[in-house]
Amino acid sequence: VNPALTLALLATRKLDALKAMVYVFAQCLGATVGAGILYLVLPLKSTANIFVNKVPMDGNAGQALGMEVLVTFQLVFTIFSVEDQRKREECETANLAIGCSISAGIFTAGKISGGSMNPARSLGPAIIVGYWEHHW
């Protein structure tokens, strides 16, 4: 569900290239379709501020990009840590760790970059709304 995680799995050879391309395409397509559905069913006023990640007026694109890289890395690192196959025992708290990592990323990056941590989540709404300023 996250192209950043898919690319990390590809880079660590836990996923082959063809599957990775299909997954990234499906993730971006799903995010775009989901954003389109939300755009159609929610009032325009409610989607204007939550739909697209924007750089705040008192920040800059460099800060937002740096924050997104940092929180996306910590999410991928957490997932890789709890899903490490070399560990002998099962990690019963893996889902909790991943959820806390997502929450920490949103709380940390929310005001600076929107806290997306997911390129597909940023791409889908940008396609639907047509807002490409500071989109990376």
For range 129-133, the mean pLDDT: 83
Rounded distance between C-alpha atoms, residue 40 and residue 53, angstroms: 19
Residue 30 has pLDDT above 90, yes or no: yes
pLDDT in tens, 76-96: 999 998 887 666 566 678 889
Q: Are 32 and 123 in contact (CB under 8 A)?
A: yes
Q: Are 21 and 136 in contact (CB under 8 A)?
A: no
We find that the CATH architecture of domain 3-129 is Up-down Bundle (1.20)
C-alpha of 49 from chain center: 18
Question: pLDDT averaged over the chain?
Answer: 87
Closest C-alpha among 23, 25, 52 to residue 127: 52
Going by C-beta distance under 8 Å and a sequence separation of 6 or more, which residues neighbour residue 133?
Answer: 54, 55
Question: Which residue shows structure tokens 């909790």?
Answer: 96
Q: What is the pLDDT of residue 71?
A: 95
Number of residues written out for the chain = 136
pLDDT in tens, 4-28: 999 999 999 999 999 999 999 999 9
Would you place residue 29 in the very low, low, confident or very high pLDDT band (cuts 50, 70, 90)? very high
pLDDT in tens, 32-67: 999 999 888 887 776 666 678 888 888 888 899 999
